[in-house]
Amino acid sequence: MTMATKSTLTQHWNATSVTFLVLSILGLLGTLAFNVTAAASGRDFFGDWFGSGPAVGSLGIDLLIVAIAGSVLIIVEARRLGMKRAWLYIVLSAVTAFAFTFPLFLAIRERRLVALSMG
């Protein structure tokens, strides 16, 4: 790896973008164990979410609405800032977790904002 490549990979990271990146990693690791357990045991993932009582159903609806609003934000902000392939965050959230992809998007968005502010 050349010095120019390394500096390109590491530039524009500030405390906010690193915080979002750490949250993204925690979101991935925190949900991965539960998702693997559910898949391995043959559980009805969405049935468990919405059919395990009113409190779990409420949480499911709460997270669903937040994920939809976050997905809209991803598309709108990516277009506004000229970020490419933002739809991948949404698709990736279907196979990982929105707790991973949304903070990841926010980290990359923050890097883009820093880069734009530097000219």
- pTM, two decimals, is 0.82
CA–CA dist 65, 24 (Å, integer): 19
Which residue ranges make up each domain of the chain?
A: 16-43+71-117
CA–CA dist 36, 109 (Å, integer): 29
pLDDT of res. 61: 85
102 Cβ neighbours under 8 A, 6+ residues apart: 24, 27, 67, 70, 74, 89, 93
- For residue 1, what pLDDT band results from cuts at 50, 70 and 90? very low
Place of tokens 């690193």: 18
Residue-wise pLDDT for 22-62, tens only, equals 999 999 998 888 888 888 888 887 777 777 877 777 888 88
Residue-wise pLDDT for 62-88, tens only, equals 899 999 999 999 999 999 999 999 999
Please compute the mean of the pLDDT values over residues 7-30 and round it to a whole number: 88
